[in-house]
Structure formats: C-alpha cells, structure tokens
C-alpha cells in the first residue's frame, strides 16, 4: 500500500507539473471509486471540466488537487492504486478508473482492487478524513507519542498504524521504525519508556525521510507519477525479509500477526522486554 513517502513522491511530481494547467475533460470516472463524496461521479466530471489546478497537496496518505474555485478533488490510492501522468497517446492500462485530460497530458488513476477513493471537497468544507499529526512536521516528536500512547494497552505496532494518531504511516514504515528503535512490535504502547518514545519518534522521521530520498518502496504495485518503481526496498531492514538474516546481528527476521497485520522484526535487536506495569487511568 502506498504510504506517506510513496504518496509524497507522487505529490511532489504532480505538484511541479499540474499547477497552472486546466482540465479539458474528465475522460473517465468510475462511479464505484467515488466514496463518501458530496458530489457523485457525474457531478464531479461537470465540476472539474475547465477548472485550473492551482496546487497539489498531501495529508497523510491522501492527495488533494486544489482548483482555482477553492474546491478540491480528494484522491486515495487504497491498496494497489497508481496515479500516473502520461501522454494522452499512451495506451490506457486495464483497471483505469479516472482520467483527467490536460491538453496532451492525462493523469490516470489505475486501481485493480478498487480500494482507493475519489471524493469532492467543496470550498470551505473540511474533507471527510480523520487524521493525526504529520510525522515529518515539527509538531511530531516524543511528546506526540507520550500523548498518543499514554495508558494504552494496544500493541505499539497497532498504535503506529492508527491514522488518527499519526497520519501516513503504514505497515512498511511502522515495522522499519520499530526495528530502528529496538522496540518489539507487540509491546503495549503505554509501556514504552520516555527514552524509547524518543528513539521511536526519531526512527519514524528517519525511515520516512530515507524512503523519500529513494522515491518510495516498490514491492508489487507502487510506481511514482512517471510510472517508475521506487528504490527504497533495497534499504529495508525487516519488512518483507522474513527468514533472512538481520542486517545488524544475523539473527533470522521473524513475522508475527499484530492486530491483524503482518509484522516483521528481529527477535534479538527487538527483544520482548518484561512489560512495565501501566498505572490505570482511574
């Protein structure tokens, strides 16, 4: 699934390409992709035609194409979505559900599993997304984790994936950050020491920045807005490396399911420490 670095890589490219360009036509919009939207597919097509894009923004894993009217188009890539800018002459891939035409250029959303989302965000209306702090912003740090994790018995891995606490982290970067901070994914979030939370906050920023430098991680689906795979998969320590030796200590990487999600960790570098008693909230 595209996470913050992948979505930001796409945003960065489209943000340099689209502002100042006008949408000549909405060539295709699949009504099944339009979810929790105040305007349906047909209305969105009418509202977008002739509009000029003034900016491309990102919040968590969501993209916003901002229009000259103050309205915006929300795009989410779901599990397998691709958003690629191509010549209108290029063959249209199967499972393409949205095509915006800008002169000779088309921006195409392709999503075989259709878990992605397209929605209209009228001017002055907050988008229907509940998102916590941006982990690469100056607002994110040890204090964020102290507030978010306080008294929580949920596994730290699960807490990191909660978009309402931290926006944009998914399975890859949660696993990588926990490895870098030497924290077992099944530790109760509320049991982490302040020192561990300090390490984890720094690790989250590090793994996201490192991936941005490599234009994201590609396993199967993700490509950037030019259609090229990212290169961060070569730099991962635990994600997708079950059974392979830890790059730090040579112990074999293990996989466990935490909160319904696969979690990869090194049993030596991320030992399950004795749980610290959490003071109850009452």
Catalytic residues, by residue number, are: 2-3, 61, 261
Considering beta carbons, is residue 251 or 272 the nearer one to Zn ion?
A: 251
What span, in angstroms and rounded, lies between the C-alpha atoms of 162 and 181?
19
Of 38 and 245, nearer to Zn ion (C-beta) is 245
Question: Between residues 173 and 179, which has the closer beta carbon with respect to Zn ion?
Answer: 179
**Residue 107, beta-bridge partner list:** 85, 100
Rounded least distance, CB 102 to Zn ion, Å: 48
- Report CA 106 to chain centroid distance, whole Å: 23
**Sign of the alpha-carbon dihedral angle for 229, 234, 235, 241:** positive
User: End-to-end distance of the chain based on CA atoms, in angstroms?
Assistant: 39
Residues that bind Zn ion (CB under 5 A): 246, 248-249, 251, 266, 268-269
**Two structure tokens written together for 212:** 């941005």
What span, in angstroms and rounded, lies between the C-alpha atoms of 136 and 116?
24
Of 46 and 251, nearer to Zn ion (C-beta) is: 251
CA distances from 203 to 147, 199, 258 (A): 18, 6, 20
Minimum distance from residue 52 beta carbon to Zn ion (Å): 52
Q: Which residue number places its CB atom closest to Zn ion?
A: 246
Q: How far apart are CA 130 and CA 205, in angstroms?
A: 21
In the complex with Zn ion, the residue whose CB is nearer, 162 or 254, is 254
How many Cβ atoms sit within 10 Å of the Cβ of residue 248? Answer: 13
User: What's the maximum distance between 2 C-alpha atoms anywhere in the chain?
Assistant: 65
């Amino acid at each position: 699934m595209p996470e913050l670095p992948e979505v930001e890589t796409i945003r960065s490219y489209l943000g340099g390409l689209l502002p100042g360009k006008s949408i000549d036509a909405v060539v295709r919009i699949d009504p099944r992709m339009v979810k929790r939207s105040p305007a349906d597919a047909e209305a969105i097509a009418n509202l977008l035609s002739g509009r000029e894009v003034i900016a491309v923004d990102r919040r968590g894993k969501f993209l916003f194409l901002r229009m000259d009217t103050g309205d915006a188009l929300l795009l989410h890539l779901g599990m397998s979505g691709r958003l690629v800018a191509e010549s209108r002459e290029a063959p249209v891939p199967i499972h393409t559900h949205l095509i915006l035409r800008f002169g000779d250029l088309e921006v195409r959303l392709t999503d075989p599993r259709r878990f992605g989302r397209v929605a209209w965000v009228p001017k002055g209306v907050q988008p229907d997304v509940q998102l916590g702090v941006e982990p690469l912003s100056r607002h994110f740090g040890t204090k964020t984790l102290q507030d978010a994790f306080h008294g929580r018995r949920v596994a730290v891995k699960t807490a990191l994936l909660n978009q309402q606490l931290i926006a944009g982290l998914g399975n890859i970067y949660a696993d990588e950050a926990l490895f870098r901070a030497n924290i077992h994914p099944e530790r109760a979030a509320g049991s982490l020491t302040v020192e561990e939370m300090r390490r984890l906050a720094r690790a989250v920023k590090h793994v996201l920045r490192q991936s941005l430098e490599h234009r994201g991680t590609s396993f199967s689906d993700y490509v950037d807005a030019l259609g090229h795979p990212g290169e961060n998969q070569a730099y991962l320590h635990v994600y997708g490396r079950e059974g392979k030796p830890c790059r730090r200590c040579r112990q074999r990487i293990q996989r466990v399911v935490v909160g319904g999600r696969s979690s990869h960790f090194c049993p030596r570098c991320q030992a399950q420490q004795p749980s610290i008693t959490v003071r109850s909230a009452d």
